[in-house]
Amino acid sequence: MTESESNPSHLFLRAARGERTERTPVWLMRQAGRTDPEYNKVKAESAMPLHDLFRDPDYAARISLLPQRFGVDAIIYFQDILTPLAPMGAEFVFAPGPMLTQHIRDVVDLDQLHTYDVADELPFITETFRLVRASLDGALPVLGFAGAPLTLLVFILEEGSFGAHAHKALLFLRDYPDVAHRLLEKLTDMTIDYLKLQIAAGAAAVQLFESAANLLSREQYETWALPYQQRIFEALRATVPTIIFARDWAEASLLKSSGADILSLSDKVSIAEARKQFGDAQVLQGNLDNRLLIKGSKEDIAAAARAIVEAGGHNGHIFNLSHGLLRETPFDNVVHLIDVVKSTRLPLT
């Protein structure tokens, strides 16, 4: 039984179904992580590199649960989007950022990537979900996630992190399109299996992260990202609510075309614009600028948060950020933001 079946009255799940709620539910991308001093204490206590911490169910569950104490409405399990790549033959370690352990020499190396049995190779995923759900005992829904196929491919081709540029990856897409599509098919098959594993373990909803979207033109997005997103969401249809997130992406119509149930908006698309384009029945997530939380005053953060809550109208809207919490975000600002969102109540109409 999934979490959504066991407790459909959770505020997050009601909003995810498009219902009007008494207040707007809130969770934050990267809410269990480095902005939280308690996370840093646990990480230091473990004395583990990050890639081992992800694979330790006891520590991963403990970290996943940390945001419960500051009032979020959903727990997203602690993991990295690169974790499922290791059994495919593309293992990343964190030193401190992600680095591919074996250099890519040629196309032959890339063609060695292969699908696998996710239940056999990733048993710690299921165990982490079990521990988190047992601790929560139904108090909050648990969310799962995966990196979108193109985003995973960009990490592989860049052999590590990328920011506003990923020259090697984009050149590869241009010069070896057949190979790229072949790899994306493998990554799509793996991602479908991986998300189904999380759903079977109790994920109440799942989010697909297209973190490479900011690198792409519309044409590139339609060629390299969208078709594989569509395959994934079609495979998950009628399971749990699904969310599409595309980093710094301004064209909400392509988010809609993915087939996801919930569109997670960047700060480049207003909730009002999305409502006008797709109607009030479309469930939305977002979309406070994550950079505002770094240097913004408490007053500015509160004003921006209230404006977003008002735009969402407590109606099929889940509060979140334009992207994940950044390392330098003051923890006090995170707590303040959640308090503001939860205390902002709109009159029922």
Is there a domain that residue 265 lies in? yes
Using CA atoms, how far apart are residues 259 and 257, in angstroms rounded to an integer?
A: 5
Omega before 287 cis (within 30°)?
A: yes
Q: CA-based angle 316:320:325, to the nearest 5?
A: 170
Is there a domain that residue 349 lies in? no
The CATH number of the domain where 280 resides is what? 3.20.20.210
- CA dihedral for 64, 239, 268, 74, sign (positive or negative): negative
Domains of the chain: total: 1
Strand partners, 92: 100
DSSP state of 84: G
User: In degrees rounded to 5, what are phi and psi of residue 175?
Assistant: -90, -25
Token pair listed for 193: 């299996």
pLDDT confidence of residue 2: 42
Q: Where in the sequence is the domain holding 95, given as residue range(s)? A: 3-343
Q: Which of 77, 235, 244 is nearest to 150 (CA)?
A: 244
Taking the model in full, what pTM does it have?
A: 0.96
pLDDT confidence of residue 105: 83
CA dihedral of residues 261, 288, 76, 257 (deg, nearest 10): 20
pLDDT confidence of residue 3: 40
- List the chain pLDDT tens, one digit each, 349 residues: 344 444 768 999 999 999 999 999 999 999 999 999 999 999 999 999 999 999 999 999 999 999 999 999 999 999 999 999 999 999 999 988 999 999 888 899 899 999 999 999 999 999 999 999 999 999 999 999 999 999 999 999 999 999 888 999 999 999 999 999 999 999 999 999 999 999 999 999 999 999 999 999 999 999 999 999 999 999 999 999 999 999 999 999 999 999 999 999 999 999 999 999 999 999 999 999 999 999 999 999 999 999 999 999 999 999 999 999 999 999 999 999 999 999 999 987 6
Long-range contacts of 277-283 (CB under 8 A, 24+ apart): 277/252, 277/253, 278/252, 280/315, 280/316, 281/18, 281/316, 282/18, 282/256, 282/316, 283/15, 283/16, 283/17, 283/18, 283/241, 283/316, 283/317, 283/318
Token pair listed for 165: 């540029």
Is there a domain that residue 348 lies in? no
Using CA atoms, how far apart are residues 242 and 318, in angstroms rounded to an integer?
A: 13
Using CA atoms, how far apart are residues 218 and 315, in angstroms rounded to an integer?
A: 30
pLDDT confidence of residue 78: 98
- Name the 3-class secondary structure at 26: strand
- CA dihedral for 13, 19, 20, 26, sign (positive or negative): positive
pLDDT confidence of residue 95: 86
Is there a domain that residue 74 lies in? yes
DSSP per residue, 143-156: EEEEE-HHHHHHHH
Is there a domain that residue 318 lies in? yes
pLDDT confidence of residue 6: 45
Is there a domain that residue 166 lies in? yes
pLDDT confidence of residue 349: 62
pLDDT confidence of residue 347: 87
- Which H or E run contains 41? helix 37-46
**Angle of helix 271-278 relative to helix 298-312, nearest 10 degrees?**
10
Q: Buried (b) or exposed (e) across 140-153, using 16+ Cβ within 10 A?
A: bbbbbbbbbbbbbb
Is there a domain that residue 21 lies in? yes
Q: Are the C-beta atoms of 314 and 346 separated by less than 8 Å?
A: yes
